[in-house]
Chains A and B, each alone.
Chain A
Amino acid sequence: MDEKMNITIVYIDDDEKMKNDAFLDDIETEVDGIEYFEKPSEGLTYIKDHIDQNIVVILDWKFNSSSLQGEDILKDIAEISTLVPVIVFTGARIDAVEASKMFKGHAFSCVAKDATTEELVEAIKNAYDRIQNDIRSVMEKWILKQGDEKRSKPYMRSGDKVYTLNDILEAIRKQDEFGKETTRRILSLATELFTNNMREK
């Protein structure tokens, strides 16, 4: 692998033997950390508490021990933030119905349980790329870099409402109307700045 990825892998799978799976041993040195959770609820809490870090979730799809299924957990993660890439890791047969559940839940990609480590690493790398290149993630990172105090002060006004950086962060993560609008505006601003030079000449 070229360079270490600045991410924590959160792996949620109720099949305990997967805790010792070779792919975890293999990527151990390539990432910042690996957190394995047998219980989905604990995994969700971890994501919530460490949202300021780069996280890539690997998620089992069919859970025996929990009434929560992959689909529900996907929803819960999207509730926290839609910017966390989730790789569904499943042994089930994926038909169009299941696939559409994944897309709806903002899953980043899907890897079969009998995949090689190489294939899994590829999926993780793609997720890492997205974290690095997605304008929303870049904005998130920038906001998180600001101090707590700065983040809770009013930062901008839109319509009648005043937003702090924290408000903006939340809107971007959940991609609500305001979040989408802000993202769109920043993108077009960036494009304008980028093409400014050209027009002047």
Chain B
Amino acid sequence: MENDNTSILHFKFDVSTFRLLGRELITDRITALFELVKNCYDANAENVQLTFENLNPLSPSSRIIIEDDGLGMTFEDIRDKWMVIGTSSKRRSRTSPSPYNRVVAGKKGVGRFAVDKLGAKLIMKTKKKDSLVWNCLETDWTKYSEEEERQLSLDFEEHPEQQKLFTDIDNRYWTELGEKGIQGTRLEISSLNDVWLEKDVIRAYKELSKIVKPTLDIQYPFNIQFHVPEYKEYDGKVVESIVLAKATLSYILKYRYDEAEEKYYQEYLDEEKGALSVKEKPAEIFGPIGFTIYYYDQEGKKNFTKEERIDGIKVYRDGIIATPFAEYKSSRDEQKDLFGIDKRRWSGFFEKLSTRDILGWVDIKDELNPKIKDSTNRQDFVDNKEWTVLKEFVISQIHQIELYLKHKKETKKKENAEKLKKTDKEIDEIKQKIKRIKSNTILASPEVESELDDLASRLETIKENVSASSKDYEQMEKDIKQQENIMFSLVSLQSYAGQISHILRISIGVIKRSAEFVAKWVPLGKNQDKSVKHAHRVFDEMNNLSKAMNFMLSYAEDDSTFEYFSVKEAITELFEERYKYLFEEEGIHTEYVVEDDFELLYNMKAFQDMFGNLIDNSVKALRNILDKRIRCTAYKEDDNFVVLFSDNGPGIPEEKRDRIFDVFYTTTADLGGAGLGLYIVRTRLKSINGTISLEPNEFKPTGATFKIVIPLIH
């Protein structure tokens, strides 16, 4: 041992560690390709050539070549940057060299790992503009793999000298003569890891089409061209920015810095009475953003070679797509809906735009929106308050467009209907004119007269046709409305299924624990009173369950027939026929006044059942009242049809008022009330956008009055 007891030790790591790192950072080969192309962008390249050769089946001649005309590297660059794992040179400078000043896209210097993901062997040739030689480097990962295998079979404790580390492996370096003035980098990757099918190339193409924001940078363009001899459709194809020219609607929202106030203002969309305008407000907490949004109707979508290329809103940070990185899912359903655009199902099912209708991007800047950060897995943003508010902002903007489209559609419908009516009138006017000509003695002659008669009869035919199409049109409108209603009803049924399973679980829990109690204590001969109580509870709760079951069955059965019916007739039928004898038997005086009528598109029986539930409740409430009364009035008010339903029973106590529409809430359990009636009424009304509420009672001193409101256009 030496006397000097200080010495230096170096960290070393083996080959498998390196590869493990790479696999963690680059998860799939599209991401790998994406990273390598981003490196070209960072090197100020204007043209990138992507060549794929002999992709299927794999052979020694299979290779991928990525060639750019960017800045290239010197020998020192290769030695001190490319060969150093985890170099941070890119992070030190946030933009690429002038005059391009591109914001550096590849943040973590993972390009080298990306190569490993694609293939085992790399020949890199790179050259600076004023250099006379190409710097060439060969890295053969297959050697590393052999080393890895060999090391696994060794016992290092016996042969430490045989342990070769990652840093010990030789990479061949040489130079080749080149011309001055030419610059660029060429990566030739062979010993490919995977077969590339046509669909993989398509994937790569699609993802690369998103790499740079699709606005044309004329001064410093960035073009990517594919060369794939095997797949003709992509051979020689230039990656285009997504088609923007044919959008149905487009809005570009900007922001502005107010020098005087020293704060940012954000533009936003605002819909009012069918007009969509751009307004301004102080920037929100996420900072000022640029927001570009394109909407495509069916006609607009035809301009896309494949419809799925319209795929919602993306986020670009300093001009480069921020996230999700090269994230591609072959099934649309699995694709990430960053802003939750497609999740909004709760209301107005038909007016909602989906990611298939809109295309756009949110422009953020590191400097102005520092709180919008990528999450570490690079698949999403950090879920903080700023991101939440930004999401809300994006959704609210889409909603404004939805409102605008809805208004437009309605206006158009009205216009069309009016045009048809007008045509009818015009034909009548022409006929009048013909009559006048006929009666004009100077002009009239037998020939003219017969021509005019012919004209008049043809006009008559046209008129008939017009009025027939007008009727067809009305019928079609009705049919569409009907389909929409049925769909809406189904959607509400879905949320209803969620509620029902919630209450069933509660009910089952009650039964389970009561039964558990009885089973536990009865054999021990203890807690007898309580056991009896819980045995009854099991019975009562089971009754509730079967009532709920019947209700679900009725729902399943009676939604089959939707039709227009007269609300007046439906109510009259209830009072004059269905409940007539019950009222007589119970001695209840009824009074119903239906002032206006209204054609409702719904299932008539289901509609009547709602009132059946109210009547049942009233009958129970009136059981101890001497002078029993039920009153029902119906009328139009603004855009609604209103029904008031009252009885002069004891009324609903103040503290119960909030609860009566809850499921299984009952005040008449002793009379077999299961607490479903008002819940059913509320649920059914909901499916036609209606409401029910408790009003100040019409009868004095006591009573209960319910108000049902159904929109006339529902």
Contacts and interface: CB of A to CB of B under 8 A. Distances in A.
Given A21-B513, A25-B530, 19 more contacts: A22-B513, A22-B514, A22-B534, A25-B533, A26-B517, A64-B665, A65-B658, A91-B505, A91-B506, A91-B509, A113-B506, A114-B506, A114-B509, A114-B512, A116-B512, A116-B516, A117-B513, A117-B516, A120-B513
B503 to A, nearest CB: 7
A143 interface: no
Contacts of A120: 513
A91 to B, nearest CB: 4
A23 interface: yes
Given A20-B537, A22-B537, A114 B508 contact: yes
Contact of B662 (A18, A64, A92): A64
B437 interface: no
Interface in A65-115: 65, 91-93, 112-115
A117 B513 CA distance: 6
B502 interface: yes
Which 9 pairs across A and B sit closest by C-beta, in order of nearness?
A: A114-B509, A22-B517, A22-B513, A91-B505, A91-B506, A22-B514, A113-B509, A64-B662, A114-B508
B520 interface: yes
15 contacts: A16-B665, A20-B537, A22-B534, A23-B513, A25-B533, A26-B516, A91-B502, A91-B505, A93-B502, A112-B509, A113-B505, A113-B509, A116-B516, A117-B513, A117-B516
A17 interface: yes
A118 interface: yes
A36 to B, nearest CB: 15
Contacts of A118: 516
A62 B501 CA distance: 13
A17 B510 contact: yes
B527 interface: yes
B387 to A, nearest CB: 15
B662 A65 contact: yes
A15 interface: yes
A191 B487 CA distance: 66
Contacts of A112: 505, 509
**Chain B interface extent, by class:** 20 to 34
B659 interface: yes
A114 B503 CA distance: 10
Nearest to A66: B658
A47 B659 CA distance: 25
B520 A92 contact: no
A17 B509 CA distance: 12
Nearest to A100: B383
Most chain A beta-carbon neighbours within 10 Å: one of B498, B508, B513: B513
Contacts of A18: 506, 510
B534 A92 contact: no
A92 B506 CA distance: 9
A22 B508 CA distance: 12
B14 to A, nearest CB: 38
B659 A21 contact: no
Most chain B beta-carbon neighbours within 10 Å: one of A17, A18, A64, A93: A17
A17 B665 CA distance: 9
A23 B520 CA distance: 12
Contacts of A26: 513, 516-517, 520
Contacts of A92: 502
B249 to A, nearest CB: 33
Most chain B beta-carbon neighbours within 10 Å: one of A21, A113, A116, A118: A113
A17 B527 CA distance: 20
A92 B504 CA distance: 10
A58 to B, nearest CB: 13
A117 B515 CA distance: 10
Contact of B516 (A22, A64, A113): A22
Interface in A1-28: 15-18, 20-23, 25-26
Contacts of A16: 665
Interface string B472-512: 00000000000000000000000000100111011011101
B520 A65 contact: no
A29 B460 CA distance: 93
B712 to A, nearest CB: 30
A153 B533 CA distance: 53
Contacts of A115: 509, 512
A91 B499 CA distance: 10
B498 to A, nearest CB: 8
A144 B275 CA distance: 66
Contacts of A25: 517, 527, 530, 533-534
Contacts of A117: 513, 516-517
A20 to B, nearest CB: 7
Interface string A41-79: 000000000000000000000101100000000000000
Given A25-B517, A25-B530, A115-B509, A91 B503 contact: yes
Contact of B510 (A21, A65, A93): A21
Nearest to A13: B506
Nearest to A62: B502
Contacts of A93: 498, 501-502
A23 B498 CA distance: 26
Nearest to B659: A65
Given A22-B534, A26-B520, A64 B659 contact: yes
B429 to A, nearest CB: 62
A143 B366 CA distance: 50
A104 B327 CA distance: 30
